[in-house]
């Protein structure tokens, strides 16, 4: 079988998994913090506000500990999109290169990603630092991934095999369309009209996504 796309750049939050990591962490705090962060996330993913205007603010409000990121990793595994593991394995069997590109926190994503067969160097996410008490210290603000068009920038540097399909649910994912051959809006967990309207494909399941990637 010759796949229609030879590479897939896949978002994590609300695409591969059914949660927004920063929102999940915020729910460990007060109801007011959780509400502030959830509203900020929705506005950023809908393109109302540049992500870079909110990223540091949200992380500072939440200030996750190392142990909380381990809990988040479990939540990622528990909310995997139905059939995601099976379909990703099908893509790989057809010779498709699959990478993760996320504005989420790498420490939380890596354990889940490794269980799905991703090598560490194929997981692109934001690094954070902790102090000697495992409390949040800072995030890597030299990374493009905390900016609205950061995924586009990073994807342009990866030199993946073509044709390349980018997949995600938010405006930061749609920005990858500029450097990919096509973009699929994933609506299995969240539907954002601005993202859907700019997509080449709209899918709500990984089974449907396979039909696009493999040419079913």
Q: What is the pLDDT of residues 103-115, one digit of tens each?
A: 999 999 999 999 9
* Upper half-sphere CA count for residue 106 (Cβ side, 13 Å): 18
Helix, strand, coil percent content, the chain, rounded in steps of 5: 45, 20, 35
| Tens-digit pLDDT profile for residues 88-108 | 999 999 999 999 999 999 999
Q: Total domain count for the chain?
A: 1
Residue 70 lies in a domain: yes
Residue 2 lies in a domain: no
Residue 49 lies in a domain: yes
Angstrom distance (rounded) from CA 203 to CA 153: 24
Residue 123 lies in a domain: yes
* Structure confidence at residue 216 as a pLDDT band (50, 70, 90): low
Residue 152 lies in a domain: yes
Angstrom distance (rounded) from CA 169 to CA 199: 10
- Residue 91 sits in which domain range? 7-214
User: pTM of the predicted model, to two decimals?
Assistant: 0.92
Residue 1 lies in a domain: no
């Amino acid at each position: 079988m010759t796949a229609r796309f030879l590479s897939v750049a896949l978002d994590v939050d609300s695409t591969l998994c059914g949660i927004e990591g920063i929102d999940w962490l915020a729910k460990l705090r007060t109801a007011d913090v959780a509400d502030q962060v959830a509203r900020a996330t929705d506005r950023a993913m809908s393109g109302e506000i540049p992500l870079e205007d909110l990223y540091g603010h949200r992380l500072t409000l939440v200030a996750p500990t190392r142990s909380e990121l381990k809990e988040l990793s479990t939540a990622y595994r528990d909310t995997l999109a139905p059939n995601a593991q099976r379909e990703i394995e099908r893509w790989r069997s057809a010779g498709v290169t699959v990478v993760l590109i996320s504005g989420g926190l790498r420490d939380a994503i890596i354990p889940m990603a490794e269980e799905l067969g991703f090598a560490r160097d194929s997981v692109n996410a934001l690094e954070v630092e902790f102090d000697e008490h495992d409390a949040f210290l800072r995030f890597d603000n030299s990374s493009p991934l905390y900016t609205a068009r950061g995924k586009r920038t990073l994807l342009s540097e990866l030199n993946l095999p073509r044709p390349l399909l980018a997949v995600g649910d938010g405006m930061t994912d749609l920005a990858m369309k500029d450097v990919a051959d096509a973009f699929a809006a994933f609506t299995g967990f969240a539907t954002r009209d601005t993202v859907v309207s700019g997509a080449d494909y709209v899918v709500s399941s990984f089974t449907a996504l396979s039909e696009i990637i493999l040419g079913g």
